[in-house]
C-alpha cells in the first residue's frame, strides 16, 4: 500500500512530510467553526453536476469527508466511495458517517492512495477493493492533489470516470494564503492552468475554472475549482 498521506511533491531534500493525522480532530472542527465547510457546500450547490438518478461518486483524498458527505446528502440515491491515506482522518469521516441514518449504507470509507486510486482497503471490514475503470459518474478531489504528482494521479483518476462523467477538483488557490499554508503543511499548489491543460490532454471537454464567491468566505480565500467532462 501507499506511504502516509503526508507524502508530497517537490519538497526540499531532507524535509519531513507533514502528518495530517495528528490534527485530524482540530482540522475537522475548524472547518465548521470558521465557516469553511459552509462556504464549500454553498459552492458545491452551484456546480452543474448533470448526474444520473443514482450516481456513483468517488471522493478521492477525502480527508474528513466534506465533499463526499455533502454529495451523499444532496443526491440521496447516490453511492459514494471516499478514501484517504490518513487513517486518523478516516476515523473522523467514519464518525460523521454514523450520523447519516439510512444513507449510511450508500457510503464506503476506504484507505487508499491518490497515486493508485483503484486499489483500496475498506476500513470497517479490511476487505480489498479494486475499482473498475469507467465505473464512476463523478470523481471529486478536495485540496489533495497538491500532495502527489499531478500527472500520474490525475491520469489514473480519469480512468475511473465513465464517458460524460464529471471531474471536480476544489484545489488550493495560488496566492499568499495558500503559499503560507503550503509552507506550514508542506505541499505545493498547482495552478489552475496546469490542471486545465492536463485535463485537456487527457481528452476532457468543457473544462472550466470556477471561482468561489465572496459569499463563500472564508473558503474563497484559499480554494478554486476546475471541472471537466470525460469525452
Report the pLDDT value the prediction gives residue 11, as an integer from 0 to 100: 36
Q: Which long-range contacts (CB under 8 A, 24 or more apart) does 30-38 make?
A: 31/64, 31/66, 34/218, 35/217, 35/218, 35/219, 36/218, 36/219, 37/66
Report the pLDDT value the prediction gives residue 9, as an integer from 0 to 100: 39
Mean pLDDT for back-to-back runs of 10 residues, the chain (231 residues): 35 49 87 96 98 97 97 96 96 94 95 97 97 98 94 97 98 83 78 96 97 97 97 97
Report the pLDDT value the prediction gives residue 180, as an integer from 0 to 100: 80
Q: Which cell numbers hold the place of 19?
A: 502528518
CA geometry: angle 121, 5, 88, nearest 5 deg: 70
Report the pLDDT value the prediction gives residue 72, as an integer from 0 to 100: 97
Report the pLDDT value the prediction gives residue 183, as an integer from 0 to 100: 76
Domain residue extents for the chain: 20-230
Residue 21 CB-half CA count within 13 A:
13
CATH of domain 20-230: 3.40.50.150
Amino acid at each position: 500500500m501507499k506511504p502516509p498521506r503526508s507524502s508530497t511533491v517537490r519538497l526540499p531534500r531532507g524535509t519531513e512530510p507533514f502528518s495530517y493525522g495528528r490534527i485530524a480532530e482540530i482540522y475537522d472542527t475548524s472547518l465548521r467553526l470558521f465557516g469553511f465547510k459552509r462556504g464549500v457546500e454553498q459552492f458545491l450547490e452551484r456546480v452543474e453536476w448533470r448526474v444520473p438518478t443514482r450516481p456513483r461518486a468517488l471522493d478521492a483524498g477525502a480527508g474528513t469527508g466534506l465533499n463526499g458527505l455533502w454529495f451523499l446528502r444532496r443526491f440521496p440515491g447516490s453511492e459514494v466511495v471516499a478514501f484517504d491515506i490518513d487513517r486518523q482522518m478516516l476515523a473522523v469521516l467514519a464518525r460523521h458517517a454514523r450520523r447519516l441514518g439510512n444513507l449510511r449504507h450508500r457510503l464506503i470509507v476506504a484507505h487508499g492512495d491518490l497515486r493508485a486510486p483503484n486499489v483500496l482497503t475498506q476500513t470497517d471490514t479490511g476487505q480489498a477493493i479494486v475499482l473498475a475503470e469507467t465505473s464512476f459518474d463523478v470523481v471529486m478531489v478536495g485540496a489533495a492533489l497538491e500532495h502527489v504528482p499531478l500527472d500520474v494521479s490525475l491520469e489514473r483518476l480519469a480512468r475511473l470516470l465513465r464517458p460524460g462523467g464529471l471531474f471536480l477538483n476544489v484545489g488550493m488557490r495560488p496566492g499568499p494564503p495558500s503559499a503560507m499554508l503550503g509552507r506550514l503543511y508542506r505541499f505545493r499548489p498547482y495552478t489552475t492552468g496546469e490542471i486545465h491543460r492536463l485535463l485537456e490532454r487527457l481528452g476532457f471537454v468543457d473544462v472550466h475554472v470556477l471561482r468561489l464567491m465572496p459569499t463563500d468566505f472564508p473558503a474563497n480565500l484559499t480554494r478554486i475549482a476546475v471541472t471537466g467532462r470525460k469525452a
